[in-house]
Structure 1
Amino acid sequence: MLLIGGLVFLLVCVFGSFAASGGSLVPLVESMPFELITILGAGIGTFVMANSMSDLKHVPGAFKTAIKGPSFGRQDYIDLLGLLFFFTRLMQTQGVVALESHIETPMESTAFSAYPKIRDNARARNMICDYLRMMSMNMDDAFQFDEVMSRELSKNLKEDTHIAHGFQTLADALPALGIVAAVLGVIKTMGSISKPPEVLGEMIAGALVGTFLGVLLAYGMVGPLALRIRSVVEEDARYYDLIRVVLVSYLQGNVPQVSVEIGRKDIPVPLMPSFEEVDTAISELSIG
């Protein structure tokens, strides 16, 4: 909601201050539809040319991400730490063979069923199962394990932020596209140079609307949207990175409790649960 509230505040301040200072909104209202068609049409065209069909399918989701914000809260991090503690403790006490029933059929696993949000999150579920499976196949080199997980997480982040990069590129292009619209308006004006000054004045004002809209759309709307999408994606990526931190810590020889505590310290500060919260959550787990 902050995104929408900020946008409304921006528009009220820009157009409200212009009207309050004595500016006439008539040239803006009359020229804006045509200028928007030119600028947005050209912008959408360049955006489509610069991205693949797969990327374009993520555009609706990107808008949803920007409006909704991060997907994970404090309790989600506590739940993930609890599940990772369960699996590392299970390996410590019963060996990697005990993982098989959980990682091969996670949708039927009692451990995953205790955390339905993690179970229903395909990326988190698959990542946990895949890397626990690698550990069960005697991949116990912490450095190699860390490198493999880090590469996957980096790949995922790059793919997830690609659409934000696309919007930022569009924002960089919009001022120039606004100039294109303004130049077309000037050409139209010069073609009517024989008309009275008051008519030419309106036509020039209409042409300048193109430059105004290009800059406003770039720095007041699309640019902040791109930054918002990127920041949300990067914050959500910390959730998946927590899986790497805990599992690598366990492979380095730390006991499950210490591995989970190391993971807790890696959680973003606004979402970091206290030691007591995590300790209470894991102490209530039953390792059968």
Structure 2
Amino acid sequence: MFLIIGFVVVLFMVFGGYVFAGGKMEIIVHALPFELMIILGGSVGAFVIANSMGVIKKSLSGMGRAFKGAKWKRQDYVDLLSLLFVLIKTMRSKGVVAIEQHIEKPEESNIFNNFPRIAADHHVVAFIADYLRMMTMNFEDPHQMEDAMDQDLERHHAEEHEPQHALQTMADGLPAVGIVAAVLGIIKTMAAINEPVEVLGRMVGGALVGTFLGIFLSYLMVAPIAGRFGQVLNEESQFFNIIKTVLISHLHGNAPQISVEIGRRNVPAQHQPDFAELEDALAELPPDL
């Protein structure tokens, strides 16, 4: 929503300022289709050359994610902490045998299915199940576990940010492609050097539209989307860091209530539940979990 508002403000301020200052839109409107064909077409072609199909698809979906914002909301963090509380409490009170059925087939687990938004995310469920499974295999050294999680998260972070970096690279190159369009416009103008000054002026103005569009699309369109996409990825990655924090705290021997409280304090500030809210959520958990 805010991205759309921002784009409306950009368009109004840039083109409105130009018109209010006495600029004529005729030259821009006339040159726009051809300049966009050169600049956007060339940039998209280079983007396809430089990236794999997987990165291209993720980049397209990433633009949508930039508009929608981060997936996880305040209630999702409460649910995550509640889920982890139940899992580590079950492991501590009933032993590893009791937890195996939930981590081997999480899609059939009443614990996971009590939190449907989390259960629907394959990556989150797999991350939790994989490291709980390692705990059942006596891999319980908190320092080794933390190192393993950090390496896993670093790999995941790098893979998730590939499409964001690709979009940023495209944004960085757009001004140069705009210059290419402008140079082509000047070549066209020089071929018509015998035309009257008024005609040449319009042709030079049309050529300069290419430079303008390259800079405009780069710094006021594509780069902000890439930047917002990066913010969304960073915020969503906190979900995995909280899982790591809670599980490592559990391996250090802390009680489930302490482990989830440590996790709560690592929730991003805008989504962080307060102590009482989390306590109420834990108290309201079904007794059969």
SS at match of 2:130: helix
The answer to whether 1:270 aligns with 2:266 is no
Q: CA deviation at 1:283?
A: 2.3
After superposing on structure 2, the runs of 4+ consecutive aligned residues of structure 1 that deviate more than 2 Å are: 283-288
Partner of 1:96: 96
Give the structure 1 partner of residue 209 of structure 2: 209
Tell me how far apart the structure 2 counterparts of residues 136 and 147 of structure 1 sit (CA, whole Å): 18
Deviations 1:94-147 (CA, angstroms, capped at 9, x unpaired): 111110111111111110111111111101111111111111111100011111
Q: Which residue does the alignment assign to 1:243? A: 243
Are 1:90 and 1:287, in contact at CA under 8 Å, matched by a contact in 2? no
Q: Which residue of 2 aligns with 1:197?
A: 197
Q: Aligned letter for 1:150?
A: D
1:284 to partner: Cα distance = 2.7
Contact 1:91 1:99 in 2 (8 A): yes
Report the equivalent of 1:160: 160
Q: Are residue 58 (structure 1) and residue 58 (structure 2) matched?
A: yes
Q: Name the CA distance, whole Å, in 1 between partners of 2:157 and 2:130.
A: 18
Shift of 1:287: 6.0
Answer yes or no: is the 8 Å Cα contact 2:192–2:200 preserved in 1: yes
The match for 1:4 is: 4
Q: Is the deviation greater in 277-286 or in 144-153?
A: 277-286
Describe how 1:119-130 pairs up with structure 2 within 5 A.
Answer: 119-130=119-130
Aligned to 2:78: 78
Which residue does 2:118 correspond to in 1? 118
**Percent same amino acid at aligned positions?**
47
Q: Which amino acid aligns with 1:151?
A: Q
TM-score (norm 2): 0.98
TM-score by length of 1: 0.98
Contact 2:59/2:167 (<8 A) preserved: no
Other structure's SS at 2:54 match? helix
Which residue of structure 2 aligns with residue 280 of structure 1? 280
Which deviations, in whole Å up to 9, do the C-alpha atoms of 1:190-246 show, x marking residues without a partner?
111111100100000000000000000010001101000000011011012111010
Alignment of 1:44-55 (within 5 A): 44-55=44-55
Q: What secondary structure does 1:58 align onto?
A: helix
How many residue pairs match? The answer is 288
Q: Which moved more, 1:196-205 or 1:149-158?
A: 149-158
Checking the alignment, whether the CA contact within 8 Å between 2:113 and 2:119 is kept in structure 1 is: yes
CA distance in 2, matches of 1:185, 1:191: 10
* Residues 27 and 205, structure 1, Cα contact 8 Å, conserved in 2: yes
State the one-letter code of the partner of 1:5: I
Aligned partners of 1:252, 1:287: CA distance in 2, in Å? Answer: 27
Give the drift of 1:67.
Answer: 0.9
Which deviates the most, 205-214 or 102-111?
102-111
Q: How does 1:221-232 map to 2 (within 5 A)?
A: 221-232=221-232
CA distances 1:132-183 after superposition (whole Å, capped 9, x unpaired) = 1111111100011111111111111111111111111111111111001000
2:98 matches 1:87: no
Aligned to 2:182: 182
SS of the residue corresponding to residue 254 of structure 1 reads coil
> Which one-letter code corresponds to 2:57 in the other structure?
K
Note the C-alpha offset of 1:253. Answer: 1.2
Query: What residue number does 1:218 align with?
Result: 218
2:28·2:206 contact (CA, 8 Å) conserved in 1?
A: yes
- Partner-residue secondary structure (3-state), 1:194: coil
- RMSD of the TM alignment (CA)? 1.0
Quote the residue 1:259 is aligned against: 259
Unmatched runs of 5 consecutive residues or more in structure 2: none
Distance in 1, Cα, partners of 2:73 & 2:57: 26
Query: Separation in 2 of the partners of 1:57 and 1:28?
Result: 32
